Structure 1
C-alpha cells in the first residue's frame, strides 16, 4: 500500500512538472512560433519628432563604480536635453554614491547641462521602491522611466518610446533589457539566456493576455498613471512585477518592445553569492505578490490564472530542485516498474529540450550583438546546466524560508560594470 502511494505521488509530480516545463518551453518560443506575436514585438523602423518629455529615475545604492557612466549615458542620449530630467536616488547613508553623482553633476553643469539632481531619502525601508516613491513627487515630465545604476541605455531609447506612445496611444511601455557578459563565470551564459527569452518572447505572451509582471527597468509610465496608483509598494521585493499586475488589473494595455538594436545592457551578478541573493529576492517578491492577491482583481479567468502561474513559479522551482535528484536516484538505484521509471524521467527529458532551445538562443543572442558563440561555450553550458537548476531551486527554497520567518530586507546585488569595455570604464572614471 505504501509502495503504491509512493508510485502514485512520483507519477503525479512527474506529470505536473512535465506539463509545467512544456508550457515554459512554449512561452520561450512564443514570438518565434507566431508571426503575429513577432510583428507586435518589433520596434518602429522610423521615429517621430520628440513630443513627450521624460523623468528618469536612477535608484542607486553603493554604486560608486558605475553611477557616473550611467548618468553620462542618460544625459547624452539622442533626445533634446530640455525634454529630459534625471534623478539619482540614494539613501542618506550612501555618501560614496552621492559624492560620485554630485561630481558628475558638477562636471555636466560646466558644460551647460543642468537637468540632473540627487534625491536623498532618510527614512526606511532602504530599498529600491521606497527610493522611487521618494523621487516621484519631484518629477515634472510626461513620462516616468526607471534605469538601474549600471545600465547602458541605447541613445535612441527615448525616441523609440516617444514614437510608440504617441503612435499607439499607450501609457505603459516595457522595452528590452539584456545581460551581456555571458562568459564571465560558470553560470553567466545561462543567466544571460534567461533574460534573452524573457524579454524577447515570454513578456509578449503576458502582454497579449493582459497579465504582465513588468521588468525592473527600461519601463516607461505616463506620470499621471503612476500618481493615480500612488507609486510603488515599498514593502514588496519585486515592486516591478507587482506594479505590472496592478496595471493589468486596471485593464491598462502594456506595449512590450524588443529589438536587439535598442536593448538596455546590463551584467550578470559578479559572484554566486550575489546571484543567489538576487534570485532569492525575486522569488520572495513573487511570493509576497501572490499572497497580496492583486491578481485576484483581474477581470478574466485567463488573466488570473496566468498571474497565479507566474507568481507561483518559484515554488515550482523549489519542487523541481527537490525532485530531480530523487528522480535520478530512483532510476539509477531503486528497482521500480519500467512504466514508473519512464514517468519519473519525463521532466528530465523536458529539461533536455530546454537546453537545446537555449543552445540555439545562445547563437542567436551572440549573432545579434556582434559576439561569437563557440562549441566550448556550449560544453560549458552543458556542464553548468544541472548545477544551475539546483542553484535556482536553492534560491527558491531560501526565499520560502525568509518568507516564513517574516524577513523582507532588501539583499543588494553588487555591480562592477562587467558588461562595459574596460577602456570605456577607465575613461569614465578618469573623466
Structure 2
C-alpha cells in the first residue's frame, strides 16, 4: 500500500517594502581640518556658506557679484577686440594680390618732373657715413643733390663726409656747424640752402636703392601727393633679443598698417626715406623741436593742414637701416613713436577735413597701434591666472577666447619671418623662430612699459628723439663743402680742398 503524501501548502512570501534612501553619516566623520565644506567638528556646511563671488552658484550671487562678472566680461571682450583688430591690421596687405601691388611702385615710370635735395643729418656716424652718402650720390635721376649736416667736433664723421665729397664732386655738399645740433635744427639749417623742389630726408646709416628717387618722382607725378613715405626697413634681426621683434614690427607697419592710414589721409612719417614738397615745408616753417619724431611732427602737421599723403613699400627698393643698438635706444625710439601717434590722434580728432568715417577709421588705427601691447600682455596673463587660481570652468573658457587671435597672430609672425628672410636674402635659423616665440611676451612687456612716458621737457625730448645732444645757445658757424672747394656762404671766398677753412660766426645758425 502506497503511503499518502501530504499536499504542500502554498509558499507565502512577504510583500517587499519600499527602499529607503541611504544618507551618508557625514556628521560622524572624524575631524579633518582644511577640508572644504567641513567644519572643524566634522559637520558639513552648505556650499553657499563657503563660496562667494564667481565661485558661488549663480542663484546665490549678490549685486556686487553680477557687477564684477559684467566688468570681467567687458574686459575680456575689449581684449578680444584689440587682438582681433591688431591681427586684421597686420594682414591688410595680404588680403589680395592687388593690395600688395597697390602699395608698391608702379611698373610704368613717369618722365622726370621734379628736382630733389636729399638731406642727411649725422652725429657719431663714423666711417660708415661715407657709404651712406655714396649710395645717395649714385641715384639714377638727372636732377638731385645731396646735403650732409655734420658737427665740426665729430672728426671721424667729418672725414667720412669729405671722402664722399671727393668721390662725388658736384653732387654732395657738407654743411659743417659749430657744436652739435639736434636733428630739427640741423634739418632747418640744411633747408636754407636746399634747391630742390622736393626735400628727401634719410638716416645716417641708410642703404638706399639707386632707383629710389626716380621711382618717388614718378609716384609724385602719378598721385599728386605732397608727402611720400617710402619703404624703410630694419634688417639686422640677429643684433639682440628684441631686434627680431622690432624688425617684424617695421615690416608690418610699413607694408600693411601705414597704407591703411594713408587711405584716411593721415600719415605717421618715420625718420628715413621721407619726401616732402618744399612749399609745404615753407608753409609749416620747417621742423620744430618736440618730443615726437622729427619727421613725424611734420607729417602730423601737414596731414592736419590737408596735405595729400601717400606711402609706398617695395621690398626691392626699400631703404635699409639698422635696429637700435642698445635697449635704451630701443625704448627711446618707442617713446618717440608713441608721442607721434598721440599727436596724430589729437590732430585727427580735432581737424574738420575728410569724412567722419575716414576720421573714425584713422583714430581706430592710431589708437590700436598705440595700445596693442595691452592685449599682448594681459591676455596671456589672464589665461594663466585663471588656470593657476582654478577658477570655475566657464571663467577659464572665457579667458581662453582672446588667446585664439593671439595664437593666430603668432603663427602669422612666424610666416612673416620666413617671408622676410626670402625677400631680404637672410637665412632664418631655428633659433630665430625660437626667439620669436619665447621673446614675444617680454617684448610686449617692453612696449607696454613704453606707454608710461616719463614726460621730459620739450628740449630734452627733442634731444632724446633725435639721438643728438643740442649745443649751447649763442653764435654758431656754418660752412659748406662742395666738390673740390669749400666755400663760405656769406662771401665768394674758396678754400683749398684739403682744408675746411676758417669758421665764421653767425647768430642762431642762419645765413
- TM-score scaled by length of structure 1: 0.83
Q: Does the 8 A contact of 1:42 with 1:257 survive in 2?
A: yes
Alpha-carbon contact 2:380-2:403 (below 8 Å) kept: no
Provide the residue aligned with 1:359 in structure 2: 414
Task: Determine the C-alpha separation between the residues in 1 that align with 2:423 and 2:278.
Answer: 33
Comparing 240-249 with 67-76, greater Cα deviation is found at: 240-249
Cα 1:5–1:234 change in 2 (3 A) is same
Equivalent position to 1:61, from 103, 109, 123: 123
- Structure showing greater Rg: 2
SS at match of 1:47: coil
**Change beyond 3 A, Cα 1:92–1:251:** same
1:411 paired residue number: 464
Q: 1:20 to 1:139 in 2, by over 3 A?
A: same
The one of 251, 274, 278 aligned to 1:196: 251
1:120 shift after superposition: 4.5
Q: Deviations over 1:59-103 (max 9, x none)?
A: 2222124311111110122223xx222121245654553343234
Question: For 1:37 and 1:141, how far apart are their aligned partners in 2?
Answer: 32
> Hey, what's the Cα distance between the residues in 2 that align with 1:101 and 1:207?
35
Residue of structure 1 equivalent to 2:455: 402
SS in 2 for 1:58: strand
User: What count of residue pairs does the alignment treat as equivalent?
Assistant: 405
Match of 1:116 among 168, 172, 183: 172
What is the distance in 2 between the residues matched to 1:131 and 1:308? 32
Q: 2: distance between equivalents of 1:385 and 1:322?
A: 9
2:261 pairs with one of 206, 212, 219: 206
- Structure number with higher helix proportion: 1
Contact 1:177/1:218 (<8 A) preserved: yes
* Residue number in structure 2 paired with 1:296: 350
Matches within 5 A, 1:142-153: 142-153=197-208
Maintained 8 Å contact 1:270/1:414: no
Aligned residues of 2:199 and 2:275 also touching (Cα < 8 A): yes
**Residue 5 of structure 1: how far off its partner (Å):** 4.6
The answer to whether structure 1 residue 85 and structure 2 residue 145 are counterparts is yes
User: In the TM superposition, what are the counterparts of 1:173-252 in structure 2 within 5 Å?
Assistant: 173-252=228-307
> 1:226: how far off?
1.9
**Does 2:94 correspond to 1:40?**
no
Label 1:404 to 1:16 Cα distance change in 2 as closer, same or farther (>3 A).
farther
In structure 2, C-alpha distance between the alignment counterparts of 1:136 and 1:295, rounded to whole Å: 31
Partner of 2:446: 391
- Please state how far the C-alpha of 1:298 moved relative to its aligned partner: 4.3
The structure 2 residue matched to 1:102, chosen from 130, 148, 162, is 162
Cα shift at 1:242: 3.2
Aligned equivalents of 1:347, 1:405: Cα separation in 2? 39
CA 1:306/1:64 → structure 2, altered by over 3 Å: closer, same or farther? farther
State which drifts further: 202-211 or 281-290: 281-290
SS of 2:286's equivalent? coil
Q: Is the 8 A contact 2:345 2:366 kept in 1?
A: yes
Q: Which residue of 1 aligns with 2:433?
A: 378
1:9 alignment counterpart = 71
C-alpha distance after superposition, 1:26-75 (max 9, x if no partner): 11111211444333212122434433211011122221243111111101
Q: Which residue of 1 aligns with 2:137?
A: 75
Deviations 1:317-340 (A, max 9, x none): 564466356414521322433333
Distance 1:290 1:205, change over 3 A: closer
